[in-house]
Amino acid sequence: MPPIRSRRLVPALLGALVAVTVLLTGCTGSPRSAPPGQTEPASPTPELSSAVPSPSAAESPSPSPTPSPTRKPSPKPSPTKSRTESGALSCKSTVPLVRSPASGHGPAGSVSVTGTQNVALTFDDGPDPINTPKMLDMLKQCGVKATFCLVGFRARDHPDLVRRIVAEGHTVCNHSWQHLLDLADDKRTDAYIKRDLEHTNEVIHAAAPDAKIRYFRAPGGNFTPRLVQIAKDLGMTSIYWSLDPRDWESSKYGTGSSMTNHVISAVESGVRPGSIVLSHDNGKPTTIAAYRVLLPWLKARFRLIALPTDT
Phi, psi dihedrals of residue 42, rounded to the nearest 5°: -70, 150
pLDDT bracket for residue 279 (50, 70, 90): very high
Q: Is the pLDDT assigned to residue 164 strictly greater than 70?
A: yes
Q: What is the pTM of this model?
A: 0.73
**Is residue 178 in some structural domain?**
yes
Q: Which domain holds residue 196?
A: 107-305
Q: What is the CATH number of the domain that holds 172?
A: 3.20.20.370
Task: Kindly state the percentage of the chain with pLDDT values over 90.
Answer: 69
Q: With respect to residue 45, please indicate whether it lies within any of the assigned structural domains.
A: no
Q: How does pLDDT run across 169-179, given as a tens digit for each residue? A: 999 999 999 99
The answer to the question of residue 43 being in a domain is: no
Residue 194 lies in a domain: yes
Band of residue 87 on the pLDDT scale cut at 50, 70, 90: confident
Residue 39 lies in a domain: no
pLDDT of residue 86: 62
Q: 179-208 pLDDT, tens per residue?
A: 999 999 999 999 999 999 999 999 999 999
Q: How many domains does the chain have?
A: 1
96 in a structural domain: no
Q: Flag whether 54 is in a domain.
A: no
Catalytic, out of 124, 125, 247, 281: 124
Is 26 inside any structural domain? no
User: Any catalytic annotation for residue 280?
Assistant: yes
170 is catalytic: no
> Is 70 exceeded by the pLDDT of residue 48?
no
Q: Which of 125, 247, 280, 281 is catalytic?
A: 280
